[in-house]
A and B are shown apart, each in its own frame.
Chain A
């Protein structure tokens, strides 16, 4: 078990290294540069000397591999460097500032997705082929198919513009949470509900269910004690994996709802060629995905004793 964990972590470090070097390469290949974005639309007419001086100030005049190793050296000590666009501000600080809103948004979304999807999937399975079942399945298909930027904009138009119930964007009080949490949760809800339904159906067809009923257990006990527990197994593992997808969803949702989180920071930093910040976010996401994968494997092993990790 420990050996397995160590093995996976070592693999993770290699993946991290490859991802970071790839990101660095891609950023270098995309020739937009931060000096240009910092100049903005202002009237300053930079001369070549001034331009070179500014590049040198940020070490951007060095060859890319040198820049990369400087970055790597700092990274190993937990230092992500400084944002170039937000001159002087440590990247750690910027990313941490943005992490709070994103964690709140994603965890609320995931939580509401679970709270809705698990019972919905269960009921759909138990009442198979009922109207309720069909309704859930239509909803689930739509949830997977509808792009979140579209749903987001439609919601804003409906709830903020026409009905005036909610503020169109921003963050602050609870009202600001409703729309982004909903939009981010749609997809998760749909996937989890389908999965739950499938898992439930499979479990319900098992011999031990018949046995349980034959023992004379009441139906709710059959479902509650035997079916749900077994059906939850695949759900738990998937929830871990979905965390990574949720994070990618924030890129769009946070931009639409002007939510000051990691997703919006990522987009802004890409457009403004703020290399250090982009690099930090990519690395952070990579770490999260790697950890989520390892944890999922472990959870699986813990929940289901038949699974051996080695």
Chain B
């Protein structure tokens, strides 16, 4: 594992109040996620052993002190960040996370977690864990597990070959190990023996093949089809072996396809995908007992789960749309945890109350102003850079966001420590510099005070999500800042921030999105590539395209880190969009919930470890 050692040196130099344990966890991600390491049989579980000795050292974890939490410097699960829709509640939502991963730190959670949470002794059996989501659970099919509210239940019911845990480690789950050929194009998964589906049927390699073939098939128009891109064949030499061939090396393969939840061939093929959405059967620790989409969904313990019966009797997710009511549900103890964000004031209040086990983790979705680079004024890179200088992002973080965010340097969150590149072009708040840049570039003030060049005025509109109380002040602040250097910026409400950017309707908008970093995978092909669907800023750079392609083809983690370092430098240099900050994400648990780790890096990802939790009866 010499590469990993190098990685460690590299990381050590950047450790910034981050516990060694976290960083070891993180380095392990690399081990698991990257094919080159995987060739050594990525039984990533091994990493936890390293941590035990460290756990005593850092107290931060589940405590209510966010500043102490290491999570700030760690990736949140976030994944394909998503723009908030208009609800006010969505204030802090964007990327709650969710990757498809699941059942996180299971392999040996017991050892670590018990030590972490200070709950020595055995967990008690029994109790129902009550979670809260903010909108109906429209489906329990793995294909619809994108929305966190869905995923939380889908992950109780299903398992994947490998699943991401709350530390961004891909844990072998239905696959006990896997091998990858040197050229990175063939993966062989060795499946766990004796795994049963909820209906008592045996899980075999045929189920894996069926699931993959079904999801990949264009005719089925699955939402998650893209996760399986580049797989040329799935073969099953025997019941416990699956061999997958790829078109070429794809560094993101495990993080995407590897985490696909496996559905039972005998059941799914019989009832079809549509019916499966409300009648799922998996190998997961809990099986569906009651499903009322708009009200609640409950799963009960699966006695024959291959990792043993979960401690809890049941996990229930009920729907509570109003965020302030969710926090009251937490305070009254009616519910144990909210899957979806509360409003900021409640986050701070609950955190400071000390009544809850609190996790504060950092998002991987960047809060940014995407801007249409095809507009003549934004086409000039000097203008984009000037806008960066003119915006006091520290003030936005500290004042508007009450410190509950971390300033962005480029497209990758500092949370994603291994890939994060701090040594990029910086844009400290400097309005004079901004003015100078504009002057030098030939943008001079006209009679109305608005700068112009060749008849093009620095005049545009920021389309803000209607009802977005969280980001609106940020847009207004930016408007003032940019008007102060001779622009004429106006603000309008929109219900279609991202799609309006996609189709070129808006000049500029404001929302959060992941530009690489979701599930710990730094690839940003879907957002930064010239032809990407979610290239909201219509940023076109041959150099960027080459880097992104190279990043996916490269299997060596350090070489990848080098490539993504260049990606970030290029983003900082070119400023395709105004990158502002990464938000903090809060997860609260009632203190009667036990078996929780001391700290996590990806707060939402912890919900896939529900089967290791238990509930202490109130005395």
Identify which of residues 490-536 in chain B touch chain A, using a CB-to-CB cut-off of 8 Å.
Answer: 495-496, 498-500, 503, 505, 514, 518-519, 521, 525-527, 533-534
Whether a CB of chain B sits under 8 angstroms from the CB of A292 is no
10 interchain residue pairs of minimum CB distance: A42-B146, A40-B147, A88-B274, A40-B146, A45-B526, A43-B79, A31-B496, A260-B294, A260-B295, A57-B221
Q: Which of B80, B332, B495 contacts A39 (CB 8 A)?
A: B80
Minimum CB–CB distance from B137 to chain A (whole Å) comes to: 9
Q: Are B78 and A258 in touch, CB under 8 angstroms? A: no
Pairs A–B under 8 Å by Cβ, sample size 16: A31-B495, A31-B496, A40-B148, A41-B78, A41-B82, A41-B146, A41-B147, A44-B226, A47-B526, A48-B533, A89-B278, A161-B332, A168-B325, A168-B329, A258-B325, A268-B135
Cβ of B559 < 8 Å from any Cβ of A? Answer: no
Which A86-100 residues have C-beta < 8 A from chain B?
86-89, 94, 97-98
Contacting residues, chain A, for B499 (C-beta < 8 A):
31-33, 36
Partner of B518, one of A43, A53, A255: A43
Q: Is the CB of A50 within 8 A of B226?
A: yes
Is A46 a contact partner of B226 (Cβ separation < 8 A)? yes
Hey, which chain A residues are within 8 Å of B519, CB to CB? 43
Binds B, one of A4-12, A66-74, A152-160, A232-240: A152-160
Scan residues 1-39 of chain A and give those whose CB is less than 8 A from a CB of chain B: 30-33, 35-39
Bound complex: CA A258 to CA B221 (Å): 33
B14-22, B94-102, B378-386, B592-600: which lies at the A interface?
B94-102
Task: Say whether A65 faces chain B, with CB atoms less than 8 Å apart.
Answer: no
Q: Does B57 contact A (CB under 8 A)?
A: no
Closest partner residue, chain B, to A54 (CB atom) = B221
Residues of chain B within 8 A (CB-CB) of A48 are 533
- Residue contact A170 to B95, C-beta cutoff 8 Å: no
Question: Which of B292, B332, B500 lies in contact with A260, CB distance below 8 A?
Answer: B292
Q: Which of B227, B318, B525 is A44 in contact with, Cβ under 8 Å?
A: B227
Interface size for B (C-beta < 8 A) is: 76
Decide yes or no: A258 and B322 within 8 Å by CB, A43-B99, A51-B533 being known contacts.
Answer: yes
- Say yes or no for B136: interface residue by CB 8 A criterion: yes
Inter-chain contact A45/B321, CB cutoff 8 Å: no
Q: Which residues of A contact B320 (CB under 8 A)?
A: 169-170, 258
Query: A87 vs B293: C-alpha distance in the bound complex, in angstroms?
Result: 12
B144 adjacent to chain A (CB < 8 Å): yes
Q: Mark B244-258, 1 if CB is under 8 A from A, else 0.
A: 000000000001100
Q: Please, which residue of chain B has its CB at the minimum distance from the CB of A84?
A: B138
Which B residues contact A (CB, under 8 angstroms)? 78-82, 85-87, 93-100, 135-136, 138-139, 144-151, 218, 221-227, 229, 255-256, 273-275, 277-278, 292-295, 318-322, 324-325, 328-329, 331-332, 334, 495-496, 498-500, 503, 505, 514, 518-519, 521, 525-527, 533-534
On whether A45 and B334 interact (CB within 8 A), knowing A31-B499, A170-B318, A264-B294, the answer reads no
Q: Pick the contact of B96 from A41, A94, A98, A153 — CB < 8 Å?
A: A41
* B100 contacts A43, C-beta separation under 8 Å: yes
Report the separation of the CA atoms of residues A87 and B295 in the bound assembly, to the nearest whole angstrom.
18
> Are B332 and A164 in contact, CB atoms less than 8 angstroms apart?
yes
Q: Are A46 and B525 in contact (CB under 8 A)?
A: no
Residues of B with C-beta under 8 A to A160: 328, 332, 334
**Which interface class (under 10, 10 to 19, 20 to 34, 35 or more) fits A?**
35 or more
Chain A residues closer than 8 Å to B86, beta-carbon distance: 271
Closest chain-A Cβ to B164's Cβ sits at a distance in Å of 9
- From known contacts A161-B328, A161-B332, A169-B325, infer whether A41 and B94 are also in contact, taking CB-CB under 8 Å: yes
Q: Which residue of B lies closest to A57 (CB)?
A: B221
11 additional A-B pairs beyond A160-B328, A268-B136, beta carbons within 8 Å, are A37-B85, A39-B80, A40-B98, A40-B145, A40-B148, A44-B256, A45-B527, A85-B138, A160-B332, A167-B332, A255-B322
Tell me the minimal C-beta distance from B343 to chain A in angstroms: 12
A97 to B136, CA, bound (A): 13
For the complex, give the distance between the alpha carbons of A13 and B148 in Å: 42
Decide yes or no whether A265 CB sits under 8 A from chain B: yes
In the complex, the answer to whether B79 meets A42 with C-beta atoms within 8 Å is: yes
B496–A32 contact, CB under 8 A? yes
Q: A30 and B495: CB pair below 8 A? A: yes
Q: Does A267 contact B (CB under 8 A)?
A: yes
A75 shortest CB reach to chain B, Å: 21
B39 to chain A, nearest CB (A): 24
- A264 and B273 alpha carbons, distance in the complex (Å): 27
* Closest CB in chain B relative to A281 CB, distance in Å: 13
Q: Contacts of A40 on B, CB cut-off 8 Å?
A: 82, 98, 145-151
Q: Please name all residues of chain B whose beta carbon is closer than 8 Å to the beta carbon of A42 when the two chains form the complex.
A: 79-80, 98-100, 145-147, 151, 224
Q: Which residues of B contact A36 (CB under 8 A)?
A: 82, 498-499
- Asked if A293 is at the interface (CB within 8 A of a chain B CB), the reply is no
Is there contact, CB below 8 Å, between A256 and B325? yes
Known A30-B495, A42-B145, A260-B295; contact A86-B139, beta-carbon cutoff 8 A = yes
- Establish whether residues B80 and A54, one from each chain, have CB atoms under 8 Å apart when the complex forms: no
| Measured CA separation A143–B514 after assembly (Å) | 46
In this assembly, does A296 line the interface, its C-beta being within 8 Å of a C-beta of chain B? Answer: no
Q: Is the CB of A47 within 8 A of B318?
A: no
A47 to B229, CA, bound (A): 10
Q: Select A53's contact among B78, B146, B221, B275, beta carbons within 8 Å.
A: B221
Interface contact B95-A41, CB-CB below 8 Å: yes
Residue ID in chain A nearest B256 by CB atoms: A43
A258 touching B148, Cβ below 8 Å: no
